[in-house]
A and B are shown apart, each in its own frame.
Chain A
């Protein structure tokens, strides 16, 4: 049984702190007061059945939805109500559940977009510098570095839509690296990809955390969560029902019941 149903202490030691978030769609309350924090260098896994509100929580924290109530701060500054691109400019990145690579752009361009989007938001909102000539070689070189970090080493001119699902996920991860975010949200990073690809994904995510990024992920695959996460937050029906270190939380029978159906 669960012996401690306590939300994480929402003090200010985390990089991203959210308190008491509420969200309803029509007459259905999807989030009923969720609090927590994301700490640099830590991987926090959000687990729970479908409909528990995990994806909604991520959408609130990345600016895609606005909460009905509650607060969220990044380094002490409010982030709620900002649009996704402003939050991206302030260091919040996201890997979508359905990947969303830019299908008709080449692999290289997919990464270059992420690099220029980050640079120019901070420095100059409108930039007409050439992407492919001259100074663009610098961009291409940088982009190749990110690609090789995730393991792409060929076919950089192939269009993203021709890649397999797993490779698209890797590409999206490369794009996330290129954004140099301080806090990233990964929505089911390994869903639907082969074991081989998933095994490649794990160390990359771990590296991301080791570099000081606060990582939050949604995952159904418990083995994956066990192997990766420092913190596990169990959600069900819009509330946090359990949280703590991975091994501790995952040993609770009820968590296993809710998450695994076992």
Chain B
């Protein structure tokens, strides 16, 4: 596998009506990168992912994905050219069955094909509940379904916004396990925003720390994620 840049972000700023959240972010993602973005609440981690997906419009800066400018591209097109995005909440259609959810995700086609089969094999909880309405799934099952849905299309970059928040330890490790096997099969780069660092540590090879809309650390030493004092320094925002 040759190394190349998948995503390039250059001095990106964005925000909401009366609030600037990202204050100039520059970031290159390589196709073997598995990045964890950490930082205190409200530092702009989720907004960074949402801006890349053009769910939050960027004010200045450029985003390019494999040589294509995407900062003004509609979200659905960004997805179709190969960026998968797992929303933090409300990431399945609760009123529809699991099967309908998956078929929407695979581009309104019936569930077949090698890729779909493999993804479903990775999530047996989903495969066994195709007829259940998604709203009746438990939190862990729902999150598995959401991840399966994102992976129904070919992706070369996967953005995950707090995939295991609110899951029990066992559900979380199960989900992470599935993600690992998918990663080795489909070889995509990934960016993951998550608080429970110990759970995701085995999956990442690069660590980015954000604070107040800026990147303050970018390192490949992922062991730092488990270093309490190092984290304290960057992370805790109420030193009273």
Contacts and interface: CB of A to CB of B under 8 A. Distances in A.
In the complex, are there CB atoms of A and B closer than 8 Å? yes
Interface of A: 26-28, 49-51, 161-165, 190-195, 198-199, 202, 220-221, 223-224, 227-228, 237, 257-258, 261-262
Interface string B213-240: 0000000000000101000000011111
Given A163-B18, A195-B237, 18 more contacts: A28-B138, A49-B168, A50-B165, A51-B139, A162-B18, A190-B238, A191-B41, A195-B239, A202-B238, A221-B41, A221-B238, A223-B236, A224-B238, A228-B240, A257-B169, A261-B198, A262-B197, A262-B228
Contacts of B165: 49-50
A227 B195 CA distance: 21
B238 A195 contact: yes
B169 A227 contact: no
Interface in B3-49: 18-19, 41-42
B92 to A, nearest CB: 15
Contacts of B139: 51
Interface of B: 18-19, 41-42, 136, 138-139, 165-166, 168-169, 195-199, 212, 226, 228, 236-240
24 contacts: A27-B136, A28-B138, A49-B165, A161-B18, A165-B19, A190-B238, A194-B237, A195-B237, A195-B238, A198-B237, A202-B240, A220-B41, A221-B237, A221-B238, A223-B238, A223-B239, A227-B240, A237-B168, A261-B195, A261-B196, A261-B197, A261-B198, A262-B198, A262-B226
Contacts of A228: 240
Nearest to A52: B166
Nearest to A228: B240
A147 to B, nearest CB: 20
B166 A50 contact: yes
B185 to A, nearest CB: 27
Contact of B136 (A26, A49, A190, A195): A26
B46 to A, nearest CB: 11
Nearest to A221: B238
A144 to B, nearest CB: 24
Contacts of B237: 194-195, 198, 221
